[in-house]
Chains A and B, each alone.
Chain A
Amino acid sequence: MRHSGMRFPGMRPIVRTLLVAAAFALATAQAQVAITYWQYDFATRIDAMNQLIEQFNAENPDVVVTQETFPYDAYQQRVAASLAAGEGPDVVQLFYGWVGPWQRAGYIEPLPKEHFADEWIQDYFIPMVESVNIGGDYYGLPTAVRALALFYNKDQFREVGLDPDSPPTTWDEFIEAAKMLTTQRGPRFERIGFGIAPNGQDHHLVRTVLMNQLGTPPYSDDNTEVLYGNEIGAEALAFYTSWQTEHEIGVAEFMPGNNGYREGFYTQENISMIIDGSFAIGAVRTNAQFDWGVAELPTFDNGVKANFGSFWMNGLTPNATADPAKLEAASRFIKFVTSEEAMQIWLDVVGELPAAKTMVADPELTADPVYGAFIAGLAYAEATQFVDEAGQRDAMVNAINRVLLEGVDPMTSILQAAAEDQALLDAANTQ
Chain B
Amino acid sequence: MTTRTTRERKGLRLAQREAIWAYVFLAVPLAFFATIRFWPALQSFRLSLFTWHVDPARRQFIGFDYYQELLRNPVFHQALKNTLLYAAIVVPGSMLLGLLIALLLQNVGRGRSLYRAIYFAPYITPAVAVAWVWGWMYNYNFGIINTLLIEWWSFLERIGLERFAVEPQRFLTDPDKALYSVAAVIVWQQLGFQVVIFLAGLQGIPRVFYEAARIDGANAWHLFRHVTLPLLNPVIVFSVIITTIASLQLFDQIVNINFTDQGGPLNRTLSIAVYMYQEAFGRARMGYAAAVTVVLFLLILIVTLVQLRLTQRRVEY
Interface positions of A (Cβ within 8 A of B): 76-77, 80, 83-84, 98, 101-102, 104-107, 186-189, 197-200, 251-258, 260, 318, 388, 390-391, 397-398, 401-402, 405-406, 431
B125: chain A residues within 8 A (beta carbon)? none
Among B142, B173, B266, contact of A402 (Cβ-Cβ < 8 Å): B266
Known interface pairs A76-B282, A101-B285; A405-B173 also in contact (CB < 8 Å): yes
Q: What is the total number of residues of chain B having a CB less than 8 Å from a CB of chain A?
A: 38
Main secondary structure of the interface of A (DSSP, over half): helix
A431: chain B residues within 8 A (beta carbon)? 51
Q: Does B94 contact A (CB under 8 A)?
A: no
Verify B53–A105 contact, CB threshold 8 A.
Answer: yes
Interface positions of B (Cβ within 8 A of A): 51-55, 58, 132, 135-136, 138-143, 146, 150, 167-168, 170, 172-175, 259-261, 265-267, 278, 280-286
Known interface pairs A105-B54, A197-B260, A318-B54; A255-B139 also in contact (CB < 8 Å): yes
Verify B174–A102 contact, CB threshold 8 A.
Answer: no
Verify B283–A390 contact, CB threshold 8 A.
Answer: yes
Verify B284–A104 contact, CB threshold 8 A.
Answer: yes
B150: chain A residues within 8 A (beta carbon)? 186-188
Verify B266–A406 contact, CB threshold 8 A.
Answer: yes
List, sorted by A's number, 17 A–B pairs whose CB atoms are closer than 8 Å. Answer: A102-B284, A105-B53, A106-B55, A107-B284, A187-B167, A197-B260, A251-B141, A253-B170, A253-B173, A254-B141, A256-B135, A318-B54, A388-B283, A401-B175, A401-B261, A405-B173, A405-B175
User: A80-B284, A187-B168, A188-B150 are known contacts; what are 6 more A-B pairs with Cβ within 8 Å?
Assistant: A104-B53, A106-B53, A253-B172, A257-B135, A401-B266, A405-B175
Main secondary structure of the interface of B (DSSP, over half): loop
B139: chain A residues within 8 A (beta carbon)? 253, 255-256
A257: chain B residues within 8 A (beta carbon)? 132, 135, 259-260
B284: chain A residues within 8 A (beta carbon)? 76, 80, 98, 101-102, 104-105, 107
Among A80, A83, A260, contact of B281 (Cβ-Cβ < 8 Å): A80
Verify A390–B53 contact, CB threshold 8 A.
Answer: no
A199: chain B residues within 8 A (beta carbon)? 260-261
Chain B's nearest CB lies how many Å from the CB of A400?
10
Chain A's nearest CB lies how many Å from the CB of B285?
7
Q: Which residue of B lies closest to A402 (CB)?
A: B266
Nearest 10 Cβ contacts at the A-B interface: A101-B284, A105-B284, A256-B135, A106-B53, A199-B260, A76-B281, A390-B282, A106-B54, A258-B259, A83-B54
Verify B282–A189 contact, CB threshold 8 A.
Answer: no
A106: chain B residues within 8 A (beta carbon)? 53-55, 58
Verify A253–B260 contact, CB threshold 8 A.
Answer: yes
CA distance A318 to B55 in the complex (A): 9
Q: Which residue of A lies closest to B137 (CB)?
A: A256
A258: chain B residues within 8 A (beta carbon)? 259-260
B51: chain A residues within 8 A (beta carbon)? 104, 431
Verify A107–B54 contact, CB threshold 8 A.
Answer: yes
CA distance A276 to B7 in the complex (A): 85
Verify B283–A77 contact, CB threshold 8 A.
Answer: no
Verify B54–A84 contact, CB threshold 8 A.
Answer: yes
Q: Which residue of A lies closest to B139 (CB)?
A: A256
Chain A's nearest CB lies how many Å from the CB of B104?
33
Interface core residue of B51, B146, B281 (most chain A CB under 10 Å): B281
A398: chain B residues within 8 A (beta carbon)? 266-267
A98: chain B residues within 8 A (beta carbon)? 284
CA distance A302 to B265 in the complex (A): 34
Chain B's nearest CB lies how many Å from the CB of A386?
11
CA distance A398 to B264 in the complex (A): 10
A390: chain B residues within 8 A (beta carbon)? 278, 282-283
CA distance A207 to B188 in the complex (A): 40
Chain B's nearest CB lies how many Å from the CB of A339?
30
Interface core residue of B51, B259, B265, B284 (most chain A CB under 10 Å): B284
Chain A's nearest CB lies how many Å from the CB of B60?
9
CA distance A197 to B267 in the complex (A): 16
Interface core residue of A106, A318, A388, A402 (most chain B CB under 10 Å): A106
Chain A's nearest CB lies how many Å from the CB of B251?
13
Q: Which residue of A lies closest to B268 (CB)?
A: A405
Verify B52–A105 contact, CB threshold 8 A.
Answer: yes
B55: chain A residues within 8 A (beta carbon)? 106, 318
CA distance A197 to B261 in the complex (A): 11
Q: Which residue of A lies closest to B134 (CB)?
A: A256
Verify A401–B140 contact, CB threshold 8 A.
Answer: no
CA distance A17 to B288 in the complex (A): 63
CA distance A76 to B283 in the complex (A): 9
Verify A252–B283 contact, CB threshold 8 A.
Answer: no
Chain A's nearest CB lies how many Å from the CB of B20?
39
B52: chain A residues within 8 A (beta carbon)? 104-105
B261: chain A residues within 8 A (beta carbon)? 199, 397, 401
B281: chain A residues within 8 A (beta carbon)? 76-77, 80
CA distance A181 to B283 in the complex (A): 39
A83: chain B residues within 8 A (beta carbon)? 54
CA distance A189 to B141 in the complex (A): 6
